[in-house]
Structure 1
Amino acid sequence: MSWLTWRQFRVPALVGVAALALLTAYVVHLGLDVRDAEDAYRAQCAGRSDCPRLAQLAVDYENTSLYLAALLAPVPGLLGMFWGAPLVARELEAGTQRLVWNQSVTRRRWLAVKLTVVGLAAMAVTGVAAALVTWAMSPVDRFADNRFSTVLFGARNLAPVAYAVFAVVLGVLIGLVVRRTVPAMAVTALVFVVVQFLVPNLVRPHLLPAEHVTLPMTASAINQARGLGGITGAPVVKGLTLPDAWITDVSELRTRDGTALDRAIFDRCFTDPPRTGAAEGPFGDTATCLADHDLHVDVAYQPVGRYWSVQWLESGCYLLLAGLLAAVAFRRVQRRPS
């Protein structure tokens, strides 16, 4: 049964190996280039242990790191779409599963072998790709303050492997339900994208209890933010940062007694602030006007030291969900008429 599954799967597997070989060649070259740049910056510091020039490494390779992560991010979904979804749907569509089921092989063993062979292959391909990307960008990650960003977090270390397992099992279950290859592939891609959007935004920030801090919103602090105001016109500050922390939630601007800033005051400062002539920064007189009201925000954050804990917890959630989907698939394949 394992040999038959491998013969049916060998063409997609060879395509995956070829794509992995191309990625390996590029990533190894990139990783060596990053290390050459790191050595060059260290040489400029004349052997000092604290080399401020190394911070420039994160700036130089920021876009490259994001592009590389964006290249790896869809891999688990593609494996679920092209490896997982057709695995069972193609057999059900053509009726070829009856040949196996009428022999000595049970339905559950048939499904278990298919899931094992393709699941392990997906783990191997994604694991190698994630390990290469993590190795190549590790010098950059040491000096960049964005390890928890949605794109980078999902392209490093353990998480991509768990995503791949989930995607393949999801594709197999959807193929078992839909029983048509192309619709199963489309539904798998859609569901995986939705899950990948929901988890970083709704689940990951709450995997561990957040730490909390109050930040005074001085004119300088406001000018360091990336934006002011929400879509609904709420008095919010966007894009605040904390050293060595991932900010998961920021309250509205609050006055000294803890109440939310009146929107009329916010709108007035935003659209028609008093002209001081001395304001500096991207928000200028608006920042000065808001700071005059003695404002602060309450911030929830995860310390960067929890990175590996979050990696393990999120990976565990995906693997648990994959296990539940596999259990549903085994139950369905046993009960479903051929």
Structure 2
Amino acid sequence: MIWLSWRQFRWQALTAAVTIVLAGAWLLYFGFDVRDAHSAARSACRTGSGCHQAMAEFEARYRETMYFVAAGLGLGLALLGTFWGAPMVARELEAGTHRLVWNQSITRRRWLTTKLLLTALAAMSTTAVISALLTWAARPVDEASANRFDTIIFGTRNIAPIGYALFAVTLGTVVGLLVRRTLPAIAITLVAFIAVQFAVPNLVRPHLLPAKTATMAMPTEVIDQARNLGGIGGGSVIGGITLPDEPGAWISSTSPLLTADGHPLSASRFNRCLNNPPMTGAHGTFGNTAPCLGKLNLHLKITYQPSGRYWSFQLLETALYVLLSALLAAFALRRVRHHLT
């Protein structure tokens, strides 16, 4: 049975090997390029001038590339489910070739278990290698940005992608078992996997551990360290804040800018500082706007996860996907034994 499953899987295995070689070669090249740029940026810190700007420019140089690579890995995980998991059983049921195996000494459960284990282990191994190389290549950028909890970045580093790969293959297998037709199973698996990958970071991950809250004063220098002021919907909002005592913390929510009495800063006062601030000759990120807001004695209320919980979140989310995969696999084994004719 193992030999038969391997023969059926040989083209997928060849694809995985080629992917590892090509992706690995590029990630090695990319990793050394990142380290060369990081060394150049750190040289500015050793001279004692322009350190913050040099590191900000280094992080900005690779920011878009990091997101493109993360999107590519996410797409690859989706493809594992759609082209490895979904057709694995659906193709056999659609063509009727499963009857040949079932009329031998192989039980249905052993048939499905062997195929699922072989495919899942191959998917997890391929993902583990690429994820490890990407984590190594991107480490200087991740350290400079102090943003390891980013919704997209988090799912492409360390062990979390391995759990995603296992879930993708198991999900595709179950969908194929239920639908029994290859093309519909591929389409349903793709939509379902993307939906889960969207729901978990936004709806589940923030609640895996209880969040902490803090009040943060907003003087001029702190405002200048933010990434953006204002928003599409208007209002006195500020984004891209970093906690001074918790660099790398995951800030899950921030209040609007609050005055000393705890009320939101009025839109008129905020827009006045944003659009027509008094001229002070400031040269920070937001120019004269930062000193104008800094004089108002503002603060924020922040909900966050400490940076020290990063590995706890990695382990918990990976365990969540392993549990979901185990439940799906148990359902598939029961289905193939009792309900599939």
TM-score, length-scaled by structure 1: 0.86
- Specify the code of the residue in structure 2 equivalent to 1:139: P
Give 1:225 deviation, angstroms. 3.4
> Conserved in 1, the CA contact under 8 Å of 2:132 and 2:158?
yes
Matched, 1:254 2:258: yes
Which residue in the other structure is 1:124 paired with? 125
- Specify the code of the residue in structure 2 equivalent to 1:249: S
For residues 15-39 of structure 1, the C-alpha deviation after alignment (integer angstroms, 9 at most, x for no partner) is 1211221111211222233344455
Give 1:137 deviation, angstroms. 2.2
Give 1:44 deviation, angstroms. 7.6
- Specify the code of the residue in structure 1 equivalent to 2:238: V
> Conserved in 1, the CA contact under 8 Å of 2:148 and 2:248?
no
> Which of 295, 303, 306 is the equivalent residue of 1:300?
303
Matched, 1:6 2:6: yes
Give the % identical residues. Answer: 52
Q: In 1, distance between residues paired with 2:229 and 2:65?
A: 29
Distance 1:191-1:279 versus aligned 2 partners, 3 A rule:
farther
> Conserved in 2, the CA contact under 8 Å of 1:269 and 1:286?
no
Which residue in the other structure is 2:315 paired with? 312
- Specify the code of the residue in structure 2 equivalent to 1:136: A
Aligned 1:267-306 pairs, distance under 5 A: 267=268, 269-270=270-271, 276-278=278-280, 280=282, 294-306=297-309
Over aligned residues, Cα RMSD in angstroms? 3.0
Aligned 1:31-46 pairs, distance under 5 A: 31-38=31-38
Q: In 2, distance between residues paired with 1:140 and 1:60?
A: 9
Q: In 1, distance between residues paired with 2:339 and 2:156?
A: 37
Distance 1:247-1:177 versus aligned 2 partners, 3 A rule:
same
> Conserved in 1, the CA contact under 8 Å of 2:236 and 2:270?
no
| Matched residue SS, 2:215 | strand
| Matched residue SS, 1:74 | helix
Give 1:52 deviation, angstroms. 5.2
TM-score, length-scaled by structure 2: 0.85
Which segment is superposed worse, 100-109 or 267-276? 267-276
> Conserved in 1, the CA contact under 8 Å of 2:20 and 2:130?
yes
| Matched residue SS, 1:252 | coil
Q: In 1, distance between residues paired with 2:139 and 2:299?
A: 36
Which segment is superposed worse, 203-212 or 224-233? 224-233
Count, aligned residues: 332
Which residue in the other structure is 1:141 paired with? 142
| Matched residue SS, 1:297 | strand
Which segment is superposed worse, 229-238 or 93-102? 229-238
- Specify the code of the residue in structure 2 equivalent to 1:142: E
Which segment is superposed worse, 267-276 or 7-16? 267-276
For residues 119-175 of structure 1, the C-alpha deviation after alignment (integer angstroms, 9 at most, x for no partner) is 000011111111111122223333331211122211111011110000000000111
Q: In 2, distance between residues paired with 1:143 and 1:275?
A: 31
Distance 1:34-1:290 versus aligned 2 partners, 3 A rule:
closer
Which residue in the other structure is 2:327 paired with? 324
For residues 47-82 of structure 1, the C-alpha deviation after alignment (integer angstroms, 9 at most, x for no partner) is x9xx95984654443333333333222221111111
- Specify the code of the residue in structure 1 equivalent to 2:203: L
For residues 262-321 of structure 1, the C-alpha deviation after alignment (integer angstroms, 9 at most, x for no partner) is xxx324642797753448567677766765654322101122222111111111111111
Unaligned runs of 5+ in 1: none
Which residue in the other structure is 1:211 paired with? 212
- Specify the code of the residue in structure 2 equivalent to 1:200: P
| Matched residue SS, 2:252 | strand
- Specify the code of the residue in structure 2 equivalent to 1:214: T
Distance 1:78-1:94 versus aligned 2 partners, 3 A rule:
same
Q: In 2, distance between residues paired with 1:77 and 1:189?
A: 6
Q: In 2, distance between residues paired with 1:148 and 1:316?
A: 17
Which segment is superposed worse, 296-305 or 122-131? 296-305
Distance 1:180-1:295 versus aligned 2 partners, 3 A rule:
same
Which residue in the other structure is 2:15 paired with? 15
> Conserved in 2, the CA contact under 8 Å of 1:159 and 1:311?
yes
Distance 1:222-1:316 versus aligned 2 partners, 3 A rule:
same
Matched, 1:182 2:183: yes
Q: In 2, distance between residues paired with 1:23 and 1:35?
A: 18
| Matched residue SS, 1:212 | strand
Distance 1:75-1:292 versus aligned 2 partners, 3 A rule:
same
Which segment is superposed worse, 129-138 or 235-244? 235-244
Which residue in the other structure is 2:238 paired with? 237
Which residue in the other structure is 1:86 paired with? 87
Q: In 2, distance between residues paired with 1:35 and 1:274?
A: 42
- Specify the code of the residue in structure 2 equivalent to 1:64: T
Which residue in the other structure is 1:154 paired with? 155
> Conserved in 1, the CA contact under 8 Å of 2:218 and 2:297?
yes
Q: In 2, distance between residues paired with 1:36 and 1:269?
A: 42
